[in-house]
Amino acid sequence: MVETLWAPWRMDYILGTEPKFNGCVFCLPENHLGPLEERLVLHADQDVLVIMNRYPYNNAHLMVAPRRHVATLAEAAPGERAALADMAARVTEILDKAQRPDGYNIGINQGRVAGAGIADHLHVHVTPRYNGDTNYMTVLGETRVVPEHIRETYRKLLEFFR
């Protein structure tokens, strides 16, 4: 039996109509604080921002980045590194309440060869993991099923960041 996998949000990508941003996706206007829905930013303070991954590995895959445009942990000031770690911990607490995952993958891909899709702005991936989220679709079909539209997840998570 053939199963149908609906992914209507991918049409923006296919048609080339998804939002495009000049410059770095992690760089916000200098004085901007708080959420920014069109860019999927859930939180922004003077030190860090939390943004949803537009191409998530899993539902509610978030990224934490310093406000300052730096490429590596070594370039980040000690306060920025502390703010990244603190916010990554806070994000897991929020996701525990909002999504109830069974675990997390938390990490940094530093440099393009290490898998960084955006290599010139440091960011920490916080990817919730759920029992059964790796199944035949991922293993055999090389397809990941994200069960909720990204905008719906954004709206749900935003309440926890306020």
Residue at 5 is within a domain: no
* Catalytic residue numbers, as ranges: 123
Residue at 80 is within a domain: yes
Residue at 3 is within a domain: no
pLDDT tens for residues 119-131?
Answer: 899 999 999 998 8
- Count of the separate structural domains present in the chain: 1
Asked whether the predicted pLDDT for residue 36 surpasses 70, the reply is: yes
Residue at 45 is within a domain: yes
Q: Is 29 exposed, middle or buried (0-12, 13-18, 19+ CB in 10 A)?
A: exposed
Give the pLDDT band of residue 140 (cuts 50, 70, 90): very low
Residue at 103 is within a domain: yes
Residue at 2 is within a domain: no
Question: Containing domain of residue 126, as a range?
Answer: 10-161
What is the SS3 assignment for 71? coil
| Strand ranges for the chain from DSSP E | 41-44, 48-52, 62-66, 103-107, 124-129
The CATH code of the domain that includes 120 is 3.30.428.10
CB 19 within 8 A of CB 157: no
Residue at 141 is within a domain: yes
Model confidence, pTM: 0.79
DSSP state of 114: G
Residue at 76 is within a domain: yes
Angstrom distance (rounded) from CA 46 to CA 31: 8
